[in-house]
Amino acid sequence: MNPIELARYFDHTNLKLDATEADIEKLCQEAIEMGTYSVMLYPTGVKQASTLLKGVTPMVGTVVGFPSGRFSSASKQGEVVEAAKNGAAEVDVVANYPALIAGEPNLMEEELKLLTEEAHQASMKIKVIVETCYLTDGLILDALKICENVGVDMIKTSTGFGSDGAKVEHIQLWKNNRTTHIGLKASGGIRTLNDAITLIEAGADRLGLSAGLAILNELKTGEEGTPAAGY
């Protein structure tokens, strides 16, 4: 895989709590230079990123109900509407996975049905974060079934704020059990070229990361760098 091909898997991400407008501008410029699929940032940065990336390849994505998912369905719906208004092409929604853990999967499904319809009406893709680090394998498969039932575009492992990030075995579990064309996104803790390639080989269609530049440099030079801690 060459750098151009690898970069197209990347959602180039800045979800730092202290991110500034200058950081968003830098994120967008790096995404253009790398040729990533998208940038991923907080809702308040969407309008700025949409302006900076108008007419170029990287799309703009943002998060909804982030990072806990413990928000009302109405508030998440409002975030989806606002994201579309400000120019986002994709939303990464944190599911109500606590309801799944509590044995109430219908609550998670009802909410995701509402949000998927809202996103698709606005011509946005929706990726659903289920925070796999807190789920058993059985619940990870239940989450996949729910996401397939409501027609989300991708299911995603992690926020990067949980107790762990993307795991190869979870991507493989989804790949081996999906019954639709739902996409798979790995995120959280992807720091090296080996991390990225291993997850892609396991079945990931997209990678959420902040270490894209270091990973591409490693591919070009063969020397592993030391990317700063982050998403």
Active site residues: 92, 156, 185
Q: How far apart are CA 228 and CA 231, in angstroms?
A: 9
CA 73 to chain centre: 19
Instruction: Find the helix packing angle between 193-202 and 168-177, rounded to 10°.
Output: 20
Q: How far apart are CA 36 and CA 147, in angstroms?
A: 25
Closest CA to 207 of 196, 221, 194, 192: 196
Residue pointed to by tokens 């064309």 = 181
Is there a contact between 124 and 82 (Cβ–Cβ < 8 Å)? no
Residue pointed to by tokens 């940038």 = 39
Q: Which two tokens stand for residue 208?
A: 């959420």
Residue 67: is the preceding peptide bond cis (ω within 30°)? yes
